[in-house]
């Protein structure tokens, strides 16, 4: 797509309407993606949904037409998703440790400062790379999500009807979630033990967000995840039950043959899955090393003052002096803020690793897109090094582990925000937006998301608890196990190593290792829910290969994800409002008097799947 001249569009860009709308969307997508990531260990890009909703508000409701104003809304709004993604991959580990060590959980101020510093650094580190990666390498680095978002915004100038598709998905998903997990009229989780196959179990999470994730990711990624679940629940778990028999095998304290499938998953498979995901992340990072070093070398060679500041007002970034001063201030805040458990060594590590992984993240998403950015691999690499350094310098136990996770949290947020920022700047470059104003918009979105992400994390923990079946927090649990392992706490290393070698085998035979390993780690019900969406995408593509139909399906599924996430947060609020000895959520639960049962769930879920077909064809 050729770069558009900004003279072709109205001048409105960083307007009060764009700022307010963007902040609202940043908060909404921050909460929705936090809920989704804590459920399944994955988040989805918010750029296109934010752009579509923006067009619905600005063009349809306010009856104004400005593609640059819409672009600013998606720039601010999508920052919320990236801050949430970086936060939920790491910070829940602090809550889990606080419970185990009988310590206070991280304060809202601590979470805010970690999210704010990481988000700000992600934007600041990306600014000097913009001309090198987005302008000079515009042919070799396509930035797929950035280009797709530009196409949506340009198409929106012809009509904003696509926004209605997102809102319909959002409304239906919110209603479904409230009926299933609010009123409890029907169970959202189906599970069956297989008595003829001891230790095995099958299930289905009949939830809109999972279907949406499967549809957006596509059939191949979905089937890789589901195959990992099959390996765990229908192969490894029956073997553990069969060979264990009446023997008690560490780390369980009950005979293996007496455990249910869910108990076998909790006692054994979680460790195997953690080893697989850790190895998968490291393998992805190692495969990217040639590209990483090439990116770093090119960035250093191409860097000069003009990279940051040019004479052309339509192609200018925030000033070089502002960037250096801001980075210095943020490093001091990370070091000296009493609520952040990071020393001066940790603060220096954050700056060094942060800039390095910003270059890595920004270039990788230009090639493979934000959804395939190996942020978890970068975070694991950081945690391994930072935990080892803290251990060698005598900072161990609770203090050392929380300090390491704090470092990893900031790095994870930096890499996530940098990838999102580069996609947004690519969209702006195509449309002729002002980079400096977009960078200010990124700061606004990061700040808004940082303000709300702590409250979201507290709500989720109070309502269900991290590491529970309702909220497994797979990525954060993995990071927790990595830090504990390096610090020397007791872990079933044989199970972890088994998972690591399963990941190696998957890589050797050409299976995309991370989706497969995440499926191995998660309960099979979640993988099955995602598989339904991927299967529907496959059927649609076989029967109707229309790009327009596929895009409508993606927009509708984006609404499904957002609707469930928003309702999930609302239900979490109800679950922590006390009324006597119960909570408000308990009072709206009608399952004791009326329930449609598993059959009702299957019928309603089929209706949901049909709605995807209906709105895709509309």
Q: pLDDT tens digits for 561-611?
A: 777 777 877 777 777 677 766 778 778 888 888 888 889 899 999 998 888
> Against a cut of 0.75, is the pTM above it?
no
Instruction: Give percent of the chain above pLDDT 70.
Output: 84
pLDDT at 58 > cutoff 80: no
Residue 108's pLDDT is 94
Residues 6+ apart with CB under 8 A from 164: 56
And the tokens for 482?
């990595």
Q: Which of 423, 435, 433, 437 is nearest to 45 (CA)?
A: 423
Cis link prior to 251 (omega < 30° from 0)?
A: yes
And the tokens for 418?
């940098």
Q: How far apart are CA 130 and CA 95, in angstroms?
A: 36
And the tokens for 441?
């918009």
Contact 308, 318 (CB under 8 A): yes
Q: How far apart are CA 574 and CA 577, in angstroms?
A: 5
pLDDT at 534 > cutoff 70: yes
What does the pLDDT look like over 59-107, one tens digit per residue?
Answer: 767 777 678 888 999 899 888 888 988 899 899 999 999 988 888 899 9
Residue 306's pLDDT is 44
CA distances from 269 to 152, 222, 339, 384, 495 (A): 42, 20, 35, 22, 8
And the tokens for 518?
């995440």
Give the phi and the psi of residue 583 in degrees, each rounded to 5: -125, 170
Split at pLDDT 50, 70, 90, the class of 305 is very low
And the tokens for 102?
């009988």
pLDDT at 227 > cutoff 70: yes
**Measured in whole angstroms, how far is the alpha carbon of residue 551 from the centre of its chain?**
21
Q: Look at the block and give the residue holding tokens 């989805």.
A: 44
Split at pLDDT 50, 70, 90, the class of 129 is confident
Residue 310's pLDDT is 46
Residue 309's pLDDT is 46
- Taking residue 314's Cβ as centre, other Cβ atoms within 10 Å add up to 13
Contact 226, 233 (CB under 8 A): no
Residue 617's pLDDT is 61
């Amino acid at each position: 797509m050729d770069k558009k001249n900004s003279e072709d569009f109205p001048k409105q860009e960083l307007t009060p309407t764009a700022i307010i709308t963007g902040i609202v969307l940043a908060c909404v997508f921050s909460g929705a993606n936090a809920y989704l990531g804590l459920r399944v260990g994955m988040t989805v890009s918010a750029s296109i949904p934010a752009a579509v909703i923006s067009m619905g508000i600005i063009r349809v409701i306010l009856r104004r037409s400005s593609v640059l104003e819409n672009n600013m809304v998606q720039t601010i709004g999508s920052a919320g998703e990236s801050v949430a993604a970086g936060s939920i991959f790491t910070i829940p580990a602090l809550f889990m440790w606080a419970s185990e060590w009988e310590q206070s959980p991280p304060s809202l101020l601590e979470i805010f400062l970690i999210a704010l510093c990481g988000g700000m650094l992600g934007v600041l580190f990306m600014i000097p790379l913009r001309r090198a990666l987005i302008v000079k390498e515009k042919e070799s680095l396509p930035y797929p999500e950035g280009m797709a978002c530009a196409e949506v915004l340009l198409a929106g100038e012809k009509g904003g009807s696509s926004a209605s598709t997102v809102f319909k998905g959002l409304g239906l998903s919110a209603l479904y979630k409230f009926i299933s997990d609010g009123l409890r009229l029907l169970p959202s989780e189906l599970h069956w033990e297989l008595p003829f196959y001891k230790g095995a179990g099958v299930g289905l999470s009949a939830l809109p967000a999972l279907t949406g994730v499967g549809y957006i990711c596509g059939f191949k990624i979905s089937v890789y995840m589901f195959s990992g679940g099959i390996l765990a629940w229908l192969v490894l778990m029956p073997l553990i039950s069969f060979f264990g028999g009446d023997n008690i095998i560490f780390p369980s304290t009950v005979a293996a043959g007496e455990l249910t499938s869910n108990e076998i998953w909790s006692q054994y498979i979680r460790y195997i899955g953690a080893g697989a995901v850790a190895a998968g992340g490291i393998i992805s990072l190692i495969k990217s090393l040639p590209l990483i070093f090439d990116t770093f070398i090119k960035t250093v060679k191409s860097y000069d003052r003009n990279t940051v500041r040019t004479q052309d007002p339509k192609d200018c970034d925030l000033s070089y002096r502002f960037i250096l001063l801001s980075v210095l201030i943020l490093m001091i805040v990370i070091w000296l803020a009493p609520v952040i458990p990071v020393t001066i060594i940790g603060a220096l590590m954050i700056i060094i690793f942060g800039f390095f992984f910003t270059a890595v993240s920004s270039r990788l998403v230009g090639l493979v897109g934000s959804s395939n950015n190996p942020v978890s691999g970068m975070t694991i690499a950081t945690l391994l090094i930072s935990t080892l350094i803290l251990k060698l310098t005598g900072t161990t136990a609770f203090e050392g582990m929380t300090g390491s996770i704090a470092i990893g949290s900031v790095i994870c947020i930096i890499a996530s925000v940098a990838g999102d920022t580069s996609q947004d700047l690519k969209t702006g470059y195509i449309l002729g937006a002002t980079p400096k104003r977009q960078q200010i918009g990124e700061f606004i979105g990061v700040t808004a998301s940082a303000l709300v992400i702590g409250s979201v994390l507290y709500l989720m923990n109070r309502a269900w608890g991290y590491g529970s079946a309702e909220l497994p927090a797979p990525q954060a649990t993995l990071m927790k196990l990595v830090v504990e392992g390096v610090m020397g706490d007791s872990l079933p290393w044989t199970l972890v190593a088994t998972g690591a070698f399963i990941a190696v085998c998957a890589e050797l035979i050409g299976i995309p290792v991370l989706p497969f390993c995440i499926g191995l780690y998660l309960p099979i019900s979640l993988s099955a829910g995602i598989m339904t969406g991927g299967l529907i995408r496959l059927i649609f593509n076989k029967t109707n290969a229309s790009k327009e139909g596929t895009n409508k399906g993606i927009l509708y599924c984006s609404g499904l994800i957002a609707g469930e996430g928003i309702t999930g947060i609302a239900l979490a609020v109800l679950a922590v409002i006390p009324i006597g000895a119960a909570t408000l959520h308990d009072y709206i639960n009608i399952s004791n008097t009326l329930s449609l049962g598993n059959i009702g769930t299957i019928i309603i879920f089929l209706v949901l799947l049909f709605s995807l077909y209906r709105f895709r064809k509309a």
